[in-house]
Amino acid sequence: MKVLIFGDIYGRIGRNAFLKEYKDLVLKYSPDFIIANIENISSGRGPIEKHIKELDNKCDIDVYTSGNHIFDNYFDIKDYLDRDNSKMIRPANYYENEFNYFPGKGYKIVEKNGKKLLVINIMSKTFMKDDVYNPFLKINEMLKEIDLSDINGIIVDFHRETTAEIYALGFFLDGKVSFIYGTHTHIQTNDELIMPKQTGILTDVGMSGPLYSVIGVDYESIKHRFLGGVLGGKMEQCLDKNYVVSGCLVEIDEKTKECINIEKIRIRGTL
């Protein structure tokens, strides 16, 4: 079973670059399933339904994952997240109780051609502004609660800041899931690894967005944070037409759920 995965699609340049490269990548890899993180798809500040529909009309993506920006446009996205046919999931470990409700779900099971894939979205507590439940404990609970008897593969989008957490989660879940990949930091890492019990990991799958940018943001709108220590001001998406599209292809043994191979994808081009 082949799963084509894309990291954070960032803003207008990211959307257009992704759409430009999408068909060729599908023809090249013939994936069974496609996953894309779209939490930055709308100007780099969360998704809106208009841009999700744009992707739906032009692509056949099975699951949209997200992260800490999922609720940046809360009133636009909340109804879409709760729809039965929604392709989008949000971090599963937001705190929920009788006083507080978060729209959407933290996982999705998709089925095609007799193959079933479980996709889980989880977020770190370390260096992230949102206060969430321990991701290690939450995903452990989920794997006990979800019926895995006829699942052929399990993919985890771990939205995080640190590199060490991916490896720690890799050891914690080794042999329990097929593949864990990082999103959020937007820079593809060169550390793909299959763990001893055949769980694959990749610290960050990278972004689709403007190449000459500060992880998608225009340098002129962000430089004061580095040069003057001032955290105010509005970060603007970079609109330079040079782009990068990043992702990976993961091959999974559909009988054992084990990761067989990880191939990184990184394409540069101009719109």
- Which residues are marked as active site? 69
HSE-CB for 78 with a 13 A CA cutoff:
8
Buried residues in 174-192 as b, exposed as e (16+ CB within 10 A)? beebbbbbbbbbbebbeeb
CB 70 within 8 A of CB 102: no
